[in-house]
Amino acid sequence: MTAKTIKSNAAVAWEVGKPLSMEVVDVMPPQAGEVRIKIIASGVCHTDAFTLSGEDPEGIFPCILGHEGGGIVESVGEGVTSVSVGDHVIPLYTPECGECKFCLSGKTNLCQKIRETQGKGLMPDGTSRFYKDGEPIFHYMGCSTFSEYTVLPEISLAKVNPEAPLKEVCLLGCGVTTGMGAVLNTAKVEVGATVAIFGLGGIGLSAIIGATMAGASRIIAIDINESKFELARKLGATDCINPKNFDQPIAQLVTEMTDGGVDYSFECIGNVDVMRSALECCHKGWGESIVIGVAGAGKEISTRPFQLVTGRVWKGSAFGGVKGRSELPKIVERYLKGAFQLDDFITHTMPLEDINQAFDLMHQGKSIRSVIHF
Ligand code: NAD
Ligand code: AHE
Ligand code: ZN
Ligand code: ZN
């Protein structure tokens, strides 16, 4: 049966800095190599707020934000073979085509097959699948999960075990995979290592889970919002620090606490000054700092080159270094076997029409993750 254009409730970001607006939009049928899915749930990540704020150089409006979702295949376009109607899927903002230079390198998860059009808010053929009153609305990060229905390329979907509750595993579409993966895949933290984690939102707390799994001997959790400390401790943080409670710079404090610095640090905020502190609290000779946070347009990082000359390493991590199609289904299986929990992260749930509350809660520091239920 050929799919037709359908109506979908969606939260549209019409312009920078304005609350999202509930609209009924037209969602076109999936074209060749594309899949239309019904979203069941979507987390709200800080990156959605970052783009809405106007800080994202790739931000393009009007668009439908959201990139941390879980859904069910509603229809498939011509030539789609890897998923079928009814399959449970997690949308991927980092696709996996398996054939581009990046996919074949064995060195990165950053598939570039559709990166150019995705960054312009468009499907690979250069057009949108979302329309309102005949005018196109842009996609976001290739996902646009703040819509009841959305369309993605087949290469941007991870097919997951249908027994996994999508209202929980949607968090594996970004935050939890990112934090855990940065520790386990990018840094490859080893048993007994010392770790400092800056920022205890969904990403930083997931990094704590990763550090605990890796067997880190010391996990120093740092945030200016002390309400995050209870969960940080529960997940395995050995020390919780509010930099505001100390006169000395945080890098110096962590260095003193750890006999010369940590083996690994993770910046999970998007603040370039904190990125510097995270590097400089690493141990001379071998300490590695992983940048996960996304900084605004025009921001740059700096340090004395001597920090690198003397053996500290600065790295970045996107989606935890995870190849979504081949690796995310296995992470879902590990979740189903009880390797880690997700419910601690879901501090709030709400229907799509209340989505602006999710952004308010995030800005007020009251949520870890709000999950939208469709
Ligand atoms: P969040 O808002 O839930 O958490 C950020 C935390 O940082 C908060 O607890 C806040 O109190 C804390 N914080 C703010 N300023 C601080 C400071 N100066 N010192 C210490 N703590 C401070 O955000 P999130 O959803 O966890 O995302 C964190 C960052 O990671 C964002 O920049 C987001 O865009 C980015 N991100 C990157 C990737 C990636 O693949 N690299 C994936 C997801 C999110
Ligand atoms: N568009 C921004 C950069 C945004 C960014 O860094 N995105 C991360 C994912 S954040 C998810 O919450 C990422 O994976 N980036 C890799 C990529 O290819 O976008 C900018 O600065 O232009
Ligand atoms: Zn995200
Ligand atoms: Zn590829």
ipTM of the modeled complex: 0.99
The whole-angstrom separation of Cα 253 and Cα 230 is 21
Tokens of 262: 């940590």
Best CA proximity match to 74, nearest among 167, 147, 170, 183: 147
CA 15 / ligand 2 centre spacing (Å): 20
- CA distances to 219, 273, 315 from 225, rounded to whole Å, are 17, 17, 26
| 75, β-bridge pairs | 36
Q: Which entry of 23, 47, 139, 288 is annotated as an active-site residue?
A: 47
Residue 266 contacts residue 183 (beta carbons within 8 Å): yes
Q: Is the CB of residue 230 below 6 angstroms from any atom belonging to ligand 2?
A: no
- Whether 312 is catalytic: no
**Which residue type is seen at 270?**
G
Q: pLDDT value at position 2? A: 81
The whole-angstrom separation of Cα 102 and Cα 320 is 16
Q: What is the number of alpha carbons within 13 Å of residue 146 lying toward its C-beta?
A: 30
Q: Whose CA is nearest to atom 1 of ligand 2?
A: 58
Residue 340 contacts residue 320 (beta carbons within 8 Å): no
**Which residue type is seen at 342?**
L
Q: Is the CB of residue 173 below 6 angstroms from any atom belonging to ligand 1?
A: no
The whole-angstrom separation of Cα 88 and Cα 69 is 11
pLDDT lower than 50: segments of the chain: none
> What is the DSSP secondary structure assignment for residue 20, as one 8-state letter?
P
Q: pLDDT value at position 1? A: 60
- Whether 139 is catalytic: no
Best CA proximity match to 206, nearest among 235, 233, 249: 235
User: SS3 for 204?
Assistant: helix
Handedness of CA 320, 212, 89, 294 (dihedral sign): negative
CA 317 / ligand 2 centre spacing (Å): 10
Which burial class, exposed, middle or buried, applies to 67 when counting CB atoms under 10 A from its CB (0-12, 13-18, 19+)?
buried
Single pTM value for the model: 0.98
Q: Which entry of 36, 51, 74, 103 is annotated as an active-site residue?
A: 103
Q: Is the CB of residue 56 below 6 angstroms from any atom belonging to ligand 2?
A: yes
Q: Is the CB of residue 196 below 6 angstroms from any atom belonging to ligand 2?
A: no
Q: Does the bond joining 62 to the residue before it have cis omega, within 30 degrees of 0? A: yes
Residue 166 contacts residue 71 (beta carbons within 8 Å): yes
Q: Identify the nearest ligand to the CA of 118 by its number.
A: 2
Residue whose entry in the numeric block shows the structure tokens 């919002």: 225
- Whether 218 is catalytic: no
Best CA proximity match to 324, nearest among 177, 130, 194, 223: 177
- Whether 304 is catalytic: no
Residue 88 contacts residue 166 (beta carbons within 8 Å): yes
Q: pLDDT value at position 38? A: 98
DSSP letter string over 216-238? -SEEEEE-S-GGGHHHHHHHT-S
The whole-angstrom separation of Cα 255 and Cα 113 is 42
- Whether 283 is catalytic: no
The whole-angstrom separation of Cα 248 and Cα 265 is 19
| Atom of ligand 2 minimally distant from the CA of 294 | 6
Q: Is the CB of residue 294 below 6 angstroms from any atom belonging to ligand 1?
A: yes
Residue 5 contacts residue 128 (beta carbons within 8 Å): no
The whole-angstrom separation of Cα 269 and Cα 279 is 14
Cβ-based neighbours of 200, under 8 Å, separated by 6 or more: 208, 221, 222, 223, 225, 228, 229, 231, 232, 268
- Whether 170 is catalytic: no
Q: Whose CA is nearest to atom 15 of ligand 2?
A: 318
Q: Which residues surround ligand 3, an ion (CB under 5 A)?
A: 45, 47, 174
Ligand 1 probe mutation, 42, 269, 289, most atoms within 8 A of CB: 269
Largest CA distance in the chain: 68
| Atom of ligand 1 minimally distant from the CA of 50 | 34
